[in-house]
Chain A
């Protein structure tokens, strides 16, 4: 049975590289990174390499919102991102057949207890309450769904949307994912000795860990074919899986991620030789990247060119799956593969095809993956088709 076609009709990224998808894409293809060394003792005792959104830029942008001071930093980012996608779309966000899905790992964690200086009520730390701020700002009638599933939240939120759209429960779903760089997460990842003391190096022999990043990514997924466009991007299929191995360490075999990849391809009715490009999770920890190389090989995708975006914008946690998918889609649209920043020499057990030079190449279909704490994995297939294909 042919599945309902799901179109990605608009998108936005807010990160250290800019407040639009275009600004981010432009920086990435010029190989400009947003990862810098910051010294801010309010969030970390010593200098740390992170990707941070410029406060001044956010302050200026937030003045375009109604009553911006009513909203926390992360809420402002969500609102700005959704506002941007709506400006590039004709959907009615107030319609009953429009839903908002929010993906975040820690939400308003910067408002937790001793960090909350009384500007916001205690319950704003609750993800459901944070999501309703977004819902009410745009007068959407439906209680938003919130996906809180570690680093796969962004991809998984799109998979949830896929399910609901295929069942025709909604016509349009705005999927938005975001997380902040906070004292909470910085100290936590440091306690795991997972952070790099330099720009991260996914898949590289000398990789030592991640750079945390903050950002928001938003897409509009729709069952209505967009009009007036020569090309469409579709969400062809997706899946998730669990390693059933360890709550924080990735599987040593990669079989869990391979299960998600295989299932996503099957869901997309797509074979491995139709995949032109892999947008991987590639956090640059020793174990994650090793696991991915094994999973890619098990799935028979080891020849396919791949990269990780983490060298440009860091690991944006709940936003990662969305931001990185949007950039993967930009690659499809522009037939351009960006260099996997930080990579110099392969340092994973299985030979995989890491993109070392930004290059033009015809692209039709790509696979996005994500993996996270709790042993979870997710994979998603995106495709580009032109008007004449349909």
Chain B
């Protein structure tokens, strides 16, 4: 049972305001940079070496770097692909990419819908990218809620584990808009 005000003590990576924070420690910082430059800097700094990263939209890049930071010590290696669950959420779904995609179709004289942009107009794609990178084949779900209800997501993850549907769960919130970005990922078991 978890009280609503419990501090979550699982391994955690948070990305916001030009900082990457792992278990409470700032491990990378580059404030005042626009997001694309900031996240590319982190990608290079952490030597993530994953060519498909450059094809991702900003939301997925944010999720990808957060997941890579959290899982940098190979914590998932001890688990079979179907034992790993993913429970994620945000409030804006893929609004930033939706707008970008809508721009490519609003002018019928200049009508070039891009599949590479369209594919990122579903928020669960970030789950797909993480699953591909870490060979995760277990259960997952993506919620879109106006508020980040940490307790609800944690309870859901723990319920999955208790039911035997996962042994470990990547859980958290990854949101991106033109004005702000915030990722918080936990490793729950």
Contact = CB atoms under 8 A, between A and B. Distances in A.
Interface of A: 45, 105-107, 109, 112-115, 125-129, 132, 143, 145-150, 156, 159-160, 163, 166-167, 183-184, 187-188, 190-192, 239-248, 255-256, 259, 263, 267, 372-376
> Contact residue range for chain B?
35 or more
The 3 closest A-B pairs by CB, nearest first: A374-B128, A128-B146, A188-B118
B124 A259 contact: no
Interface string B130-148: 0110111111111111110
12 contacts: A106-B121, A113-B102, A126-B144, A129-B146, A147-B143, A191-B113, A192-B118, A240-B140, A240-B141, A241-B82, A247-B128, A372-B124
A54 B141 CA distance: 33
A247 B125 contact: yes
B114 A247 contact: no
Given A106-B98, A188-B113, 12 more contacts: A113-B99, A143-B147, A149-B124, A187-B113, A192-B115, A192-B118, A192-B119, A241-B139, A243-B131, A244-B81, A373-B125, A374-B128
A60 to B, nearest CB: 31
Contacts of A259: 82, 137
Nearest to A106: B121
Nearest to A107: B93
A373 B125 CA distance: 7
B122 A148 contact: yes
B62 interface: no
B141 A147 contact: yes
Contact of A191 (B95, B114, B123, B132): B114
A163 B156 contact: yes
A244 B139 CA distance: 12
B101 interface: yes
B91 interface: yes
A191 B121 CA distance: 13
B137 A243 contact: yes
B131 to A, nearest CB: 4
Contact of A114 (B106, B115, B156): B106
B111 interface: yes
Interface in B150-170: 156, 159-160, 163, 165
B68 to A, nearest CB: 16
A163 B136 contact: no
Contacts of B160: 163
Contacts of B125: 150, 247, 373-374
- Among the interface residues B95, B101, B142, B160, which one has the most CB atoms of the partner chain A within 10 A? B142
A45 B114 CA distance: 16
Contact of B132 (A143, A149, A156, A245): A245
B108 interface: yes
B29 interface: no
Given A190-B113, A373-B125, A128 B145 contact: yes
A145 B121 CA distance: 20
